């Protein structure tokens, strides 16, 4: 820990080189495929101190990322007792941002918790309530948190975040602002991560406003519009769970390509700024067990065929490393 901090903080030109974000895909899909579930490690360029946006797959994601060389530039003391994925888990990842408590967003966190280091869990109060009541509750899993059923082991500190109010992410160079999303019967969360003047936006599961009878995405687009206008929003991670053959009545609080395109068009309209070239990572595609066209191929094809805005749709794969910025 001290070694890493010294390497990072001791590097004097840090503010000058930090102009955007590195994103490592620890889990790319939404449901079904255990071991490859929503989890994105994010840190400012040049500053490895990271957080995870959702934690569906943690250790397996780190192991795959390591095999792909995506962790090779983590400064790691030669005398570190851990494997590289272990070192990253213990010392590089400084906290979890949990969009909602569905298992495909927290399973990796639960499973790795017996060998994790102490960390904060940043979430809206409704999400931390479910984690502490229904997951780390001494029955489903030991209570590794600092709330709920005794004995509280206190490894994780639940940090409730107030929607719309930025908070610093301890031990990192980033701040986050949370925005509530409508996800069927559940409150989910979008996290706007800031580093210096740059920003990236991670959305947990969400339906379209028109389908959800909601205005939450509209409110989010209004909040980030100034960053789009200033060309400071470096990229968006957003879900697209089903292909367009899926009826709107069975989206269960998720997006399909036509709704994702419509919501991005809404952002473009509100920002009065073309989104051409904006990186948009297509998260949370749900694998299908049916023979025939693979949704993981069909969804990006449908997005690209309707892509009048010219956004840069990215299909994530586990272990992939992306750089969004200058
Ligand atoms: Zn999900
Ligand atoms: Zn969900």
Structure tokens at 219: 């409110």
- Side-chain half-sphere CA neighbours of 13 within 13 A: 5
Per-residue burial over 85-102, b = 16 or more CB atoms within 10 Å of its CB, e = otherwise: bbbbbbbbbbbbbbbbbb
Q: Where are the domains of the chain?
A: 2-10+20-325
Residue 316, sorted as left (phi over 0), alpha (psi -120 to 50) or beta, turns out to be: beta
Pairing assessment for the beta strands 198-203 and 167-168 based on DSSP bridges: unpaired
Ligand 2 centroid distance, CA of 6 (Å) = 38
Ligand 1 centroid distance, CA of 100 (Å) = 8
Ligand 2 centroid distance, CA of 157 (Å) = 23
Ligand 1 centroid distance, CA of 89 (Å) = 22
Ligand 2 centroid distance, CA of 100 (Å) = 7
Percent of the chain with pLDDT over 70: 94
Instruction: Give the model's confidence band at 17: pLDDT under 50 very low, under 70 low, under 90 confident, else very high.
Output: low
Class of domain 2-10+20-325: alpha beta
Q: Is the pLDDT of residue 18 over 90?
A: no
Is residue 187 a contact partner of residue 100, using CB atoms and an 8 Å limit? yes
pLDDT tens, position by position, 282-301: 999 999 999 999 999 999 99
Ligand 1 centroid distance, CA of 204 (Å) = 7
pLDDT tens, position by position, 76-129: 999 999 999 999 999 999 999 999 999 999 999 999 999 999 999 999 999 999
Nearest ligand to residue 241 Cα = 1
Nearest ligand to residue 186 Cα = 2
Is residue 141 a contact partner of residue 134, using CB atoms and an 8 Å limit? no
Mean pLDDT (whole number) for 297-323: 98
Ligand 1 centroid distance, CA of 33 (Å) = 11
> What is d(CA 308, CA 310) in angstroms, rounded to the nearest whole number?
6
Closest Cα partner for 124 from 149, 101, 142?
101
Ligand 1 centroid distance, CA of 105 (Å) = 6
Instruction: Give the model's confidence band at 326: pLDDT under 50 very low, under 70 low, under 90 confident, else very high.
Output: confident
Structure tokens at 106: 């927290």
Nearest ligand to residue 207 Cα = 2
> What is d(CA 142, CA 110) in angstroms, rounded to the nearest whole number?
9
Nearest ligand to residue 101 Cα = 2
Q: What is the pLDDT of residue 31?
A: 87
């Amino acid at each position: 820990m001290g070694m890493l901090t010294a390497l990072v903080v001791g590097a004097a030109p840090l503010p000058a080189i930090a102009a955007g974000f590195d994103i490592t895909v620890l889990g790319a899909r939404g449901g079904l495929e255990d071991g490859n579930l929503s989890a994105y490690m994010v840190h400012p360029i040049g500053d490895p101190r990271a957080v995870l946006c959702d934690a569906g797959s943690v250790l397996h994601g780190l192991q795959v990322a390591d095999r792909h060389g995506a962790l090779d530039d983590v400064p790691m003391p030669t005398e570190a007792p851990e494997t590289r994925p272990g070192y990253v888990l213990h010392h590089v990842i400084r906290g979890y941002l949990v969009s909602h408590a569905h298992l495909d967003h927290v399973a990796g966190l639960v499973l790795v918790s017996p060998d994790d280091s102490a960390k904060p869990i940043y979430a809206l109060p409704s999400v931390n309530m479910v984690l502490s009541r229904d997951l780390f509750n001494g029955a489903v899993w030991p209570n590794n948190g600092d709330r709920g059923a005794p004995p509280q082991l206190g490894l994780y500190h639940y940090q409730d975040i107030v929607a719309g109010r930025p908070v610093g992410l301890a031990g990192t160079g980033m701040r986050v602002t949370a925005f509530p999303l409508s996800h069927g019967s559940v409150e989910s969360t979008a996290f706007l991560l800031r580093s210096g003047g740059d920003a990236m936006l991670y959305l947990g599961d969400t339906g379209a406003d028109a389908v959800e009878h909601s205005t939450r995405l509209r409110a989010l687009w209004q909040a980030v519009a100034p960053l789009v206008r200033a060309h400071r929003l470096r990229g968006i991670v957003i879900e697209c769970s089903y292909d367009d053959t899926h009826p709107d009545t069975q989206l269960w609080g998720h997006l399909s390509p036509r709704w994702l395109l419509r919501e991005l068009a809404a952002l473009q309209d509100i920002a009065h700024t073309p989104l051409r070239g904006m990186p948009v990572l297509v998260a949370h595609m749900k694998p299908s067990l049916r023979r025939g066209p693979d949704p993981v191929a069909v969804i990006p094809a449908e997005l690209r065929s309707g892509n009048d805005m010219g956004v840069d749709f990215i299909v994530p794969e586990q272990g992939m490393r992306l750089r969004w910025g200058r």
